[in-house]
Amino acid sequence: MGKSYSYTDIISEYTKALQRIDELTQAPEDLFLLKPDSNTWSANEIFNHLRRFNNLYIRSIDQIEKGSNDKTVKNAEFKPSLPARVIIKIMEPPYKLKIPTLAPMYPKASAETGMQSTTMELRETNTMVIELLHELKSNSADLDKIKGRHPVFKFLPMSLTDLFLMMSSHQRRHLWQAEQTLHRLSGKHY
């Protein structure tokens, strides 16, 4: 059947992400920029990857929302589709399945952007999503009925519910990965 989400639930996902970003950035900058090995991303590179993906999702959601025909709802409870639920489940940390990153979504090297810049940009994407969700809520937009395509997997038709929740699960996956990276380097949890 699947869990239902309210606007408040979905907004909470992004508020929690902002809190987790703040917690992880309590790590010293030199640790945040350090790669555990040549095949692993630094926490900064993970944040950079997330920022890039979040921007991709935001552009897609914005285009879908602007092209919608004012589909409104009285009872704002939303359910992700079966394909979205499966993808979300696969993404959830601690994950067992490694998913290869698409080449255009590789992060820039840690040395290119410092911790403060990368963190600020990632925080901005989450703030933009929260603001967009508040706007959609004030317009009583039906997140289940407003549909478009996934920004990467164009063959997948998705509702805004699907996209917001998949974006959030992608973030949880990589914030957990950043935590594991920092723990591996320092023995501390942030």
pLDDT of residue 48: 93
pLDDT of residue 152: 84
| pLDDT at residue 2 greater than cutoff 90 | no
Q: In the block, which residue shows the tokens 């950079």?
A: 48
pLDDT in tens, 77-122: 999 999 999 999 999 988 766 666 655 555 655 456 789 999 999 9
pLDDT over 90, % of the chain:
74
Residue 115, strand partner residues: none
Residue 148, strand partner residues: 158
pLDDT in tens, 156-189: 889 999 999 999 999 999 999 999 999 999 999 9
Mean pLDDT over all residues of the chain? 90
Rounded distance between C-alpha atoms, residue 70 and residue 141, angstroms: 7
Rounded distance between C-alpha atoms, residue 7 and residue 81, angstroms: 17
- Transcribe the chain into DSSP letters: ----EEHHHHHHHHHHHHHHHHHHTTS-HHHHH--SSTTS--HHHHHHHHHHHHHHHHHHHHHHHHTS---B-SS-EE---HHHHHHHHHHSSSPSS--PPPGGGPPPPGGGS-HHHHHHHHHHHHHHHHHHHHHHHHTTB-TTT-EEE-SS-TTSEEEHHHHHHHHHHHHHHHHHHHHHHHHHHHS---
Provide the pLDDT confidence category of residue 130 given band limits of 50, 70 and 90: very high
Question: Range with the lowest mean pLDDT among 65-74, 107-116, 124-133, 151-160?
Answer: 107-116
List domains and CATH numbers for the chain: 5-186 (1.20.120.450)
Provide the pLDDT confidence category of residue 67 given band limits of 50, 70 and 90: confident
- The more confidently predicted of residues 111 and 26 is 26
Question: Range with the lowest mean pLDDT among 64-73, 75-84, 130-139?
Answer: 64-73
pLDDT of residue 27: 96
